[in-house]
Chains A and B, each alone.
Chain A
């Protein structure tokens, strides 16, 4: 595998389900990101992890819970979602500068298209 991979590519879940999205980067980067892309809205940054430490959380509801066990893997755990959470969820990675939180070129995975019924 090369670049950034995401699984699953499509997910349909009910509001009471618990599921997880997985992201893996094969680029040797030290920063990973979750973005949400809803219809007719710009991409929204959800979470940033730098060296496995969460450095940014953009007012995301607690029903979204990220986990970064190492610099290559990032998860997004989902529980009791709402229909308005249906969106394309994109993972990205970059070689960051942890001390200053400036971010270099980001590379994106193919995304998980989530539908909440």
Chain B
């Protein structure tokens, strides 16, 4: 099956800083999603982005399907951005496969 790797595994930022999270995948994908898991376990949809670039407020994402990676940008980080960020992909007729996540801590 498809392998999904995320980097970095852990990230500590001061409030107001910017960051880039990376997701590499091993095969062609039909779908790619970015999620934020809050401290209570809820997975919140950030982007559905099999290709191209999208922006939503302080967050934006870019997927370059031909090069098998996606990037999630967080600008002007806030303490409420803390949590785990997951990338998940679906190949042709296959299940949604999650990466191991990037754990982000934003400090004051």
Indicate if the CB atoms of B48 and A105 lie closer than 8 Å.
yes
- A sample of 24 inter-chain contacts (CB < 8 A) reads A33-B96, A42-B101, A43-B88, A43-B98, A45-B95, A48-B95, A56-B95, A88-B41, A90-B41, A100-B93, A101-B93, A102-B92, A103-B31, A103-B96, A104-B48, A105-B31, A105-B33, A106-B33, A106-B88, A106-B96, A108-B42, A108-B43, A108-B45, A110-B41
With contacts defined as CB atoms under 8 Å apart, how many contacts are there between chain A and chain B in the complex?
Answer: 49
Cβ proximity bits B57-94 to A, threshold 8 Å, 1 near / 0 not: 00000000000000000000000000000101010110
**Interface check A75, CB cutoff 8 A:** no
- Considering the chains assembled together, what is the distance between the CA atoms of A14 and B11 in angstroms? 37
Interface size of B as a range? 20 to 34
What residues of chain A have their CB less than 8 Å away from a CB belonging to chain B? 33, 37, 42-43, 45, 48, 56, 58, 88, 90, 100-108, 110-111, 113
Residues of A within 8 A of B31 (CB): 102-105
